[in-house]
Amino acid sequence: MRHRIAVVGGGPAGLTFARVLHRHGYPVTILERDSARDSRPPGGTLDLHEGLGQLALAKAGLLAEFQALSRPEGQAMRILDTAGAVLRDWRPSPDERANPEIDRGQLRDLLLGSLDVQWGREVAQVVPGTGDGVLVQFADGRQESFDLVVGADGAWSRVRPVVSSVTPRYTGVTSVETSLDDVDNRHPDLAELIGDGSVAVYGVNRSIVAQRNSGGHVKVYVKFRAPRDWHGDLDLADVEAARSGLLSLFDGWAAPVLDLLGHGSAFVHRPIYVLPESHTWAHVRGVTLLGDAAHLMAPLGAGANLAMLDGAELAESIADDPQDLDEAVRAFEERMSARAGRWAAITMAGLERLVSPDPADALALFDQVQPS
């Protein structure tokens, strides 16, 4: 049977869903509001876990290609105290494949392959229960009907209101992101500090983490507890003002650590929001959710992995029971909700320990979860 299936959002969840269904011979309409494949930066690097993201890629038939692109050395982690002393310096063994890193752009291109994405299709509203299935209304006034609409459109999903009235809440932790380019040539001291993977420094209710991407690119993430509007009159688009404002929050930290911010090229504010750990919804015929649209959680490495596995499992559920599309979706939702609830609790507890009044909490968490 050839159902009319659309996925809203061309991120890891939506593309994995489409890729696995495509592998099973089912067409999917991918609706992405970005105007083109490279209309905005794809973001930083992701670590894909063996039992989550890598499992999803195996279901998509892309595991070998991922292994060729990924960076196992990127799993390395160095932790410093605020004075710059090294507290931990973990490096993976040559055959360590538990959580290798891959740039988001590389992962996107891998998943896209020959998939046909409808770019510039911003969804305004989704209306279920019409005479011709589920109606998707677009921002440009057009509309189209489908048998199933899958919301993989992130934290502020336009599809979620169809099944749930819940909206994300601010955690009290905010994040600011900046970047360093050509770090090995332009900032060799910082390149050595970061190593092949990441360097992290944890203080009282704040942290700085720098993570190596491919091509000498480094992402720097600052996290701290603050009101959502903490920056007040500070214009984060003013690079010099943003840099000065952030450096003042880390006064007294070691100079090499502060250099990670001092050489930042631009600053992007990303307050951390989550959905309730127990977020579920009454099943709505013809509509479901994946990834952050379904279970937005603290960014501790699980979100993209779960999103991809969501997509792969929903696709397989549909392929395994094509005669009863609604039952296939319902069964998937039950499995996804149970798994997501467990991970939401884990990641929220992790965020509390990584941005803690006691920096020792972050070190203890690292020792708890890091392979020996």
Q: Residue 354 in contact with residue 300, Cβ under 8 Å?
A: yes
Q: Residue 12 in contact with residue 268, Cβ under 8 Å?
A: no
Residue 13: inside a domain, yes or no? yes
Residue 228: inside a domain, yes or no? yes
Task: Tell me what pLDDT residue 316 has.
Answer: 97
Q: Same structural domain for residues 215 and 253?
A: yes
Q: Same structural domain for residues 194 and 241?
A: yes
Q: Same structural domain for residues 108 and 201?
A: no
Q: Which two tokens stand for residue 182?
A: 């050509």
Q: Same structural domain for residues 231 and 344?
A: no
Give the angle subtended at the CA of 344 by the CAs of 343 and 345, to the nearest 5°: 90
- Give 371's pLDDT tier (boundaries 50, 70, 90): low
Residue 275: closest CA among 295, 252, 250, 303: 295
Q: Residue 105 in contact with residue 15, Cβ under 8 Å?
A: no
Residue 365: inside a domain, yes or no? no
Q: Same structural domain for residues 216 and 309?
A: no
**Over 90: is that where the pLDDT of 95 sits?**
no
Q: Same structural domain for residues 210 and 311?
A: no
Question: Alpha-carbon distance 213 to 54, whole Å?
Answer: 19
List pLDDT tens digits, range 199-209.
Answer: 999 999 999 99
End-to-end, the C-alpha distance of the chain in Å comes to: 50
- Give 105's pLDDT tier (boundaries 50, 70, 90): very high
Q: What is the number of domains present in the chain? A: 2
> Among residues 271, 292, 311, which one ends one of the domains?
271
Report CA Rg, the chain: 21
Considering the chain, what is the average pLDDT of its residues? Answer: 95
In a 13 Å sphere around the CA of 137, the CA atoms on its Cβ side amount to 8
Residue 50: inside a domain, yes or no? yes
Q: Which two tokens stand for residue 223?
A: 């996290």
Q: How many CB atoms lie within 10 A of CB 119?
A: 14
Q: Same structural domain for residues 105 and 213?
A: no
The CATH number given to whatever domain includes residue 158 is 3.50.50.60
Residue 359: inside a domain, yes or no? no
> Among residues 271, 304, 320, which one ends one of the domains?
271
Residue range(s) defining the domain that contains residue 181: 172-271
The CATH number given to whatever domain includes residue 194 is 3.30.9.30
Amino acid present at 98: A
List pLDDT tens digits, range 146-193.
Answer: 999 999 999 999 999 999 999 999 999 999 999 999 999 999 999 999
Question: Alpha-carbon distance 86 to 78, whole Å?
Answer: 7
Task: Tell me what pLDDT residue 366 has.
Answer: 94
Residue 93: inside a domain, yes or no? no
Q: Same structural domain for residues 261 and 307?
A: no
58 CB contacts (<8 Å, ≥6 apart)? Answer: none
Q: Same structural domain for residues 159 and 206?
A: no
Q: Same structural domain for residues 227 and 177?
A: yes
Q: Same structural domain for residues 125 and 55?
A: yes
Task: Tell me what pLDDT residue 38 has.
Answer: 85
> Among residues 247, 271, 295, which one ends one of the domains?
271
372 CB contacts (<8 Å, ≥6 apart)? Answer: none
Q: Same structural domain for residues 128 and 31?
A: yes
Measured over the CA atoms of residue 57, residue 61, residue 62 and residue 64, the dihedral's sign is positive
More confident call, 369 vs 209 = 209
pTM: 0.94
**Over 60: is that where the pLDDT of 143 sits?**
yes
Residue 241: inside a domain, yes or no? yes
Amino acid present at 324: D
